[in-house]
Structure 1
């Protein structure tokens, strides 16, 4: 994992140099052209790095040892806080898998296109949710089908 993080850091630095800090994708340019793909790769790598950093801080806090409060209410509160923190880290672990999948789609030339319809997902949606795999319409249809099957 450390080797992967080092490679990601190296890619991130290279992409930042090529894209620049003030670049924002626009509808005036070719959809999912090289510069847009580099921008989203940078966005995803930065997001992944921030998640790893937060997880490392949590791990360090756990290794430092839990505080043992004398008061039962304080102890219960601390344990609840740790539980919430660990659930958050678990959700972020799953998010890293989605980020890695999006990075693979960039490498494969499939990023930015709906996995169901093949239509462009759209820049605004991808900026808001870089791991999106479906257009808004396809996602809504998927969620409706999911809700119907849950209700049965």
Structure 2
């Protein structure tokens, strides 16, 4: 029987009932309706939606800083500079290689930040990709771009050691 049918039948009998029978019927209706009704959103779930707002804001700020620094480094490059001494040129090339390695790391970090922001938007943030359990908030606060809980990360590192 559908909820609507149950409620309609109960309301038609309600007119005939008086006193305690009517209140018992109300209780029965309430039980049936709550049994089949969609669960309401509670305050707890709305708080959970904003649970990671501070992490999201910090990630967006870090992303903006990385992009800003990338623009500064690109404008400060010295292409085609003539060096009178070969050691100066070698030193400049070593510096440039170091900067390029740092840029590569920053690009990977930017990619991880973007993926993390997407997971926050999709409400899948804070769930371990390996075991499916919730990642503790302290770990997320310490390492916001993590996708694994501490146990799974430890296991992954052990597996990597064995492969090497």
Larger Rg: 2
Matched residue, 2:73? 58
Q: Is the 8 A contact 2:128 2:147 kept in 1?
A: yes
Q: How does 1:110-121 map to 2 (within 5 A)?
A: 110-121=124-135
- What TM-score do you get using the length of structure 1 for normalisation? 0.72
> Structure 1: any 5+ residue segments left out of the alignment?
1-28
Matched residue, 1:127? 141
Q: How does 1:24-63 map to 2 (within 5 A)?
A: 33-62=48-77
C-alpha RMSD of matched pairs (Å): 1.9
Matched residue, 1:103? 117
Q: 1: distance between equivalents of 2:115 and 2:65? A: 17
User: Which of the numbers 63, 86, 106 marks the counterpart of 1:92?
Assistant: 106
Q: In the TM superposition, what is the alpha-carbon distance from 1:69 to its structure 2 partner?
A: 2.3
- What TM-score do you get using the length of structure 2 for normalisation? 0.67
Residues 64-94 of structure 1: CA deviation (Å, up to 9, x unaligned) = 5354321111111111001100111011111
Q: Which has the higher contact order (CA 8 A, sep 6+)?
A: 1
Q: 2: distance between equivalents of 1:67 and 1:137? A: 51
Q: 1: distance between equivalents of 2:141 and 2:95? A: 31
Q: 2: distance between equivalents of 1:46 and 1:66? A: 34
